[in-house]
Amino acid sequence: MNRVLLSSPTMHGEEQQFIREAFDTNWIAPLGANVDGFENEMAEYVGVSSAAACVSGTSALHLAVKLAGVKRGDVVFCSDMTFAATVNPVVYEGGVPVYIDSERETWNMCPKALEKAFEKYPECKCVVLVHLYGTPAKLDEIKAICDAHGAVLIEDAAESLSATYKGAQTGTFGKYNAISFNGNKIITTSGGGMLLSDDDEAIKKARFWSTQSRDPAPWYQHSEVGYNYRMSNIVAGIGRGQLLHLEEHKAMKKAIYNKYKEELSGLPLSMNPYLEYTDPNFWLSCLLLDKNCCISPMEIMDKLNTEANAEARPIWKPMHMQPLYAENDFIFVEDSPVNEEIFAYGLCLPSDIKMTKEEQERIIDIIHNCFKGN
């Protein structure tokens, strides 16, 4: 029985054409026609004026945090339910993450909790927002709060490429925004990321930093600390080929989500929610068990692994529950944190677009069987 993966790369063929062109022109090292093309094509697709291709989504976020002016000791409000790569760049610059709980309608940063955070830390001038599992957050409310407090909004759109909020792409609402092309994302370059902005001068500065901050001199001269963050021409070629299939991948992800939602509808659970005026990319389909449920997410995960050879995964463990960040402040507005509930009762289901209908039906049957006799 073949392994059904959570979300794995899907190659098509055009990727190889761009890679071959890089070899034929001997542009193997960083930069080249594929890097320029990928930046321009991605900026046009998302709807921003400039983009800088990087070695990872994390490096793109780091550049965004630097551009936002975060300095040692600065408080930065961050989504609590996310992967550590969202918040680590804040620490790289000496910033102090303060974590914001989620709301129930999208599982993303709660605007009420964000406003409460500004009441406690009015000096905060930067907010890092995640669109969890490809679902857009409440962008109008969050952007209005940031604007009212003079704070720079950074969108971590690593998981949400192609998702839209009221018709506009995620990655266009923040002053600086980052996307990821890691191997499990909706399109991949094997690794890689991109910084997006309408601030052309900021993108130029980010490119300078990302190429070791080399001053324009005939010798190696450096006036600022730099980084080796630029994407290679080979990797960018993979991205250009993948971008041609982004909408196709999104449609397949949506079909997987809808099938889960329809066929699991009679069970004491719900699927990861989204607002009616948004169009998620459905990167991962997730379930949330009712609190009085007779079975745990880990039991379902184990059953899927042993009976279907299928990979499921727990929901992101909230940052305020991580040993590394347990001492950081965490802001919530309900009687108990929403994120702790989602983590306790949630599960990411196999969402690979190469999964066959028969494989998904087998997964659904196993989930149904978990509730029989309980």
Look at residue 32 in the predicted model and tell me its pLDDT. Answer: 87
Residue ranges of alpha helices (H) inside the chain are 14-24, 33-46, 57-67, 88-92, 111-120, 139-148, 200-210, 233-243, 246-263, 297-308, 338-345, 357-371
Q: Is the pLDDT of residue 374 over 70?
A: no
Q: What is the mean pLDDT of residues 131-147?
A: 98
pLDDT tens digits, residue range 238-292? 999 999 999 999 999 999 999 999 999 999 999 999 999 999 999 999 999 999 8
Please check whether the domain covering 246-371 is classified as CATH 3.40.50.300: no
pLDDT band at 203 (very low <50, low <70, confident <90, very high): very high
Sign of CA dihedral 217, 32, 202, 124: negative
pLDDT band at 25 (very low <50, low <70, confident <90, very high): confident
Q: State what percent of residues in the chain have pLDDT above 70.
A: 99
pLDDT band at 27 (very low <50, low <70, confident <90, very high): confident
Q: Is the pLDDT of residue 316 over 70?
A: yes
Which segments of the chain belong to CATH 3.40.640.10? 14-243
The more confidently predicted of residues 159 and 22 is 159
Look at residue 373 in the predicted model and tell me its pLDDT. Answer: 64
pLDDT band at 31 (very low <50, low <70, confident <90, very high): confident
* b (16+ CB within 10 A) / e for 296-319: ebeebbebbeeebebbbbebbebb
Distance CA 243, CA 187 (A): 7
Q: What is the mean pLDDT of residues 7-32?
A: 88
The owner of tokens 């290679």 is: 232
User: Measured in Å, how far apart are the chain's first and last C-alpha atoms?
Assistant: 28
Contacts of residue 195, Cβ cutoff 8 Å, sequence gap at least 6: 51, 52, 54, 60, 63, 64, 176, 177, 178, 203, 206
Look at residue 199 in the predicted model and tell me its pLDDT. Answer: 98
Sign of CA dihedral 245, 249, 252, 254: negative
CATH of domain 14-243: 3.40.640.10
- In sequence order, what are the beta bridge partners of 52? 195
pLDDT tens digits, residue range 81-121? 999 999 999 999 999 999 999 999 999 999 999 999 999 99
* Chain centroid, CA 211 distance in Å: 24
Distance CA 324, CA 308 (A): 35
- The torsion defined by the Cα of 196, 202, 208 and 213, in degrees rounded to 10, comes to -120
Greatest alpha-carbon pair distance for the chain in Å reads: 76
Q: What is the mean pLDDT of residues 214-232?
A: 95
Q: Is the pLDDT of residue 28 over 80?
A: no
Say if residues 145 and 115 touch (Cβ distance below 8 Å): yes
Average pLDDT, the chain: 96
Distance CA 2, CA 20 (A): 31
Q: Is the pLDDT of residue 305 over 80?
A: yes
Which segments of the chain belong to CATH 3.90.1150.10? 246-371
Look at residue 1 in the predicted model and tell me its pLDDT. Answer: 77
Say if residues 191 and 315 touch (Cβ distance below 8 Å): no
Q: Is the pLDDT of residue 171 over 80?
A: yes
Is the overall model pTM greater than 0.85, yes or no? yes
